[in-house]
Structure 1
Amino acid sequence: MLNTDKNLKLYYSISEVATMFGVNESLLRFWEKEFPQLNPKKAGRGVRQYRKEDVETVKLIYHLVKERGMTLPGARQRMKDNKENTLRNFEIVDRLKAIREELVGMKLALDAFTYDDVENLKENIQNMK
């Protein structure tokens, strides 16, 4: 049976990575020229193979340039001078976003809860006793 779990893949194509971030393949090729940290393996005929580390680097570049609005020279300098701190800050922001999304989902679920739902739960609990 073929394993389709993306977390277990060793390499991603440029089109897969572009789709992950909603960008064009040409932008990824451009970023390779602008950021020395982004250096996917090139197989035969120049076919790019992005490792998990490359995808994480793209994620960081995307965050700095697209989400934070930094210029390319500014993002390049940030990654060169203080990549560990930048990565740590990005991971914190990423986790906070995930927590926020989860909380918003919980709020929507709670907002959808009605008085009748509460009464039904009470009845179910009484019936269990």
Structure 2
Amino acid sequence: MLEPSNNNELPAIPGKRYFTIGEVSELCDVKPHVLRYWEQEFTQLKPVKRRGNRRYYQRQDVIMIRQIRSLLYDQGYTIGGARLKLTGDDAQEDVTKSSQLIHQMIAELEEVLLVLKDH
């Protein structure tokens, strides 16, 4: 059974350009085999594949994975339902995506504040 958990508890996405599947797994609290499966189910996920078929995800991929995770685990969508939600007409205005971006920005700004306080 899928175990719901709150996306607010996920760590901030570091300011890197590329992330390995292991890093994305930790950032999104999703096992690597689930990420590989979601790549087949959601056309929006297209990690760059380099030598040895290694996957490298970009920041927008991590945000999309968190959105998919929220739809499936928190909001109870099926894979098909989540796919429709992400490709539907209202996908551009999806509250989940906006919420993810806002939480990410808040976390990043809090990190900047901590750095500024230390100096």
Question: TM-score scaled by structure 2?
Answer: 0.69
In the alignment, structure 1 segments of 5+ residues that lack a partner are 1-5, 100-129
Q: Which amino acid aligns with 1:41?
A: V
3-state SS, counterpart of residue 7 of structure 1: coil
Higher helix share: 1
Instruction: Map 1:19-98 onto structure 2 (within 5 A).
Output: 19-81=26-88, 82-86=90-94, 89-91=95-97, 93-94=99-100, 95=102
Q: Which amino acid aligns with 1:73?
A: G
Which of 11, 16, 25 is matched with 1:18 structurally?
25
- C-alpha separation in 1, matches of 2:15 and 2:98: 24
In the alignment, structure 2 segments of 5+ residues that lack a partner are 1-12, 107-119
Task: Report the counterpart of residue 112 of structure 1 in structure 2.
Answer: none
- C-alpha separation in 1, matches of 2:55 and 2:24: 10
- C-alpha separation in 1, matches of 2:32 and 2:93: 28
Q: Which amino acid aligns with 1:78?
A: K
- C-alpha separation in 1, matches of 2:98 and 2:51: 38
Higher strand share: 2
Q: Which has the higher contact order (CA 8 A, sep 6+)?
A: 2
Q: 2:72–2:78: 8 Å Cα contact kept in structure 1?
A: yes
- C-alpha separation in 2, matches of 1:92 and 1:8: 19
Identity of aligned residues (%): 31
* Over 2 Å off, 4+ runs: 91-96
- Give 1:8 shift: 2.5
- Give 1:21 shift: 1.8
Question: TM-score scaled by structure 1?
Answer: 0.64
- C-alpha separation in 2, matches of 1:52 and 1:36: 16
Name the larger-Rg structure: 1
- C-alpha separation in 2, matches of 1:54 and 1:21: 11
- C-alpha separation in 2, matches of 1:9 and 1:61: 21
